[in-house]
Structures are given as structure tokens and as C-alpha cells.
Amino acid sequence: MVDIRVKICGLRTVEDVAAVAAAGAAYAGFVFFPKSPRHLTIAQARVLALAAPVGLAKVALVVDADDAALDAITEAMPLDMLQLHGHESPERVAEVRARYGLPVMKAVGVADEGDLAAVLDYSLAADQILVDAKPPKNADLPGGNGLSFDWRLVAQRRWLKPWMLAGGLTPDNVAQAIRLTNARQVDVSSGVEASPGVKDASKIAAFVAATRAPAVPMLR
Ligand SMILES: O=C(O)c1ccccc1N[C@@H]1O[C@H](COP(=O)(O)O)[C@@H](O)[C@H]1O
């Protein structure tokens, strides 16, 4: 069976970190975006990053962050990856990667086929691509909205860089999403919450377990 690497994003407590590690996820995501119910101060995130066990990769999610903000985050805590979830250009992605010496994952919002061109645009600059649902116009958040896109758009795609599927994934639909898209990495935030910003350990465990289970054939 292929080992699917799971990222659980938007952790806010040390209990969340423990639940993510116990479930066997590969990545823990910390959100630095004040409008998000998952936003952390640097001091809060530092506590969580230091609580993460060896082997759980710590990802800082930022949205159009400037160097001052990234300096403060990266100097305060050990990190394994930066996730850029705003309108960062390929040039800015390359700049961030060079300045901080960390792998960079660039989020690309997808609503239709045309949006996939951006995956190529970022493929040289970024280490990984996060293929997420495009947020609705006037949404407060550029991600973490619990919305999915038509997975058939990325079905069986091969790209230059490793990619991660996100957007509206849940314990109930992730196996089907993996089967349809052949994604080897998946990312979830609201689908494992009891309420916005409040993670549910049983949903985290169920989500990771669902990525390990053989997917049932899709009914057409
Ligand atoms: O989670 C957030 O609050 C967030 C805020 C700003 C940008 C991105 C955010 N989350 C990312 O979006 C994906 C998908 O979220 P969901 O599962 O549909 O709720 C999430 O995994 C984060 O990487």
C-alpha cells in the first residue's frame, strides 16, 4: 500500500500536536493569518513547534508575508517548511526559499482547468505545490474554507514537483479523493474540526486512518 503523507493544518494547542503525531500525520501546520480562526501568535506557535516530536514536520502558513514577518517567525521556532498561501509571485517564492533556506510550498487555488497553469508557473521556484480550492470572491480566508474543487481536474496528473491535495477534505471523502486524483499527499484543516479553529482528535485519527484504507471503487 502506498504511504500517503498527511498534513493537518491549523493546530492551536499542544493536545492538537499530540493528536496529529499519534495519528501518524507527516506534517503539522501553524497558521499566521490574523483573520483566521486558526491564527497563532509567534509565542503560541513556538510552544507548539517545540512540542512537536521528531519526524513531524512543522509548517508555517503565511499569506503575502513580508520579510519582517517571516524573519520573526523563522527566528522564533524550528520549522521544516514554509507554506505561502497568498498572491506571492514565482519570484517571491524563489526569494523566500533562498532567504530562509527552508523548503517552500506554494498554494495554487483551483476552480477550473485554466487555474492549473499556475502549477507550472510555480514549479521551478517552489519545492512543493499545494493544490487547493480557489476561495470564493470576497471570502475572508484564502484557504481553510472547507470547500473542495472538482477533483477530476487533477485526476492522475503528473507535475515536476511533489504536490499536495487540499480543499474540503474530510475523513469521509479523503479515500475517494486519493483514489480519483492519485495524490500522494493530502492537507486538511476544517474537515477535522469540531468548530472553526477547534480540532477534534477523533476526526484527526479517522482522517489519517482513511488515507491508509484501501479506497472503495467509485460508483458512477
Ligand atoms: O486554515 C486556515 O485558516 C487558512 C487560512 C489562510 C490560508 C489558508 C488556510 N488553510 C489552508 O487551506 C487548506 C484547506 O483548508 P480546508 O481543509 O478546506 O479547511 C488547509 O489545509 C490549509 O493548508
Question: For the segment 158-212, what is each residue's pLDDT rounded down to a tens digit?
Answer: 899 999 999 999 999 999 999 999 999 999 999 999 999 999 999 999 999 999 9
At which residue does the C-alpha cell 499536495 appear? 164
At which residue does the C-alpha cell 499569506 appear? 63
- Report the chain's C-alpha Rg in angstroms: 16
For the chain, domains (ranges, CATH) are 5-212 (3.20.20.70)
Question: Sign of the C-alpha dihedral, residues 49, 28, 143, 198?
Answer: negative
Q: Which three cell numbers stand for residue 91?
A: 519570484
Task: Provide the CA 20 distance to its chain's centre, in angstroms.
Answer: 13
Q: Is 9 known to be catalytic?
A: yes
Q: Which value does ipTM take for this structure?
A: 0.97
Atom of ligand 1 nearest to the CA of 167: 18
Cα separation of 122 and 137, whole Å?
Answer: 23
Cα separation of 29 and 145, whole Å?
Answer: 15
Which tens digits make up the pLDDT trace of 82-140?
999 999 999 999 999 999 999 999 999 999 999 999 999 999 999 999 999 999 998 99
Q: Which residue from 12, 59, 61 has its CB within 8 A of the most atoms of ligand 1, so it is best to mutate? A: 61
Residues 93 and 86 sit within 8 Å (Cβ to Cβ):
no
Map residue 213 onto helix, strand or coil: coil
Write out residues with Cβ below 6 Å of ligand 1.
Answer: 9-10, 29, 31, 33, 36, 38, 61, 63, 85, 132, 141-147, 166-169, 187-191
H or E element: which one contains 105? Answer: strand 104-110
- Residues 6+ away with beta carbon under 8 Å from 208: 6, 23, 24, 25
Residues 204 and 188 sit within 8 Å (Cβ to Cβ):
no
Q: Give the mean pLDDT of 21-46.
A: 98
Spacing, Cα 120 to ligand 1 middle (Å): 22
Instruction: Answer yes or no: is pLDDT of 216 > 90.
Output: no
Cα separation of 147 and 135, whole Å?
Answer: 8
Q: Is 112 known to be catalytic?
A: no
pLDDT band, residue 157 (cuts 50/70/90): confident
Tell the residue nearest (CA) to atom 8 of ligand 1.
Answer: 143
Spacing, Cα 109 to ligand 1 middle (Å): 11
pLDDT for 214 equals 61
Q: Which three cell numbers stand for residue 217?
A: 471503487
Cα separation of 179 and 6, whole Å?
Answer: 15
192: nearest Cα among 39, 2, 5, 19: 19
Cα separation of 63 and 81, whole Å?
Answer: 14
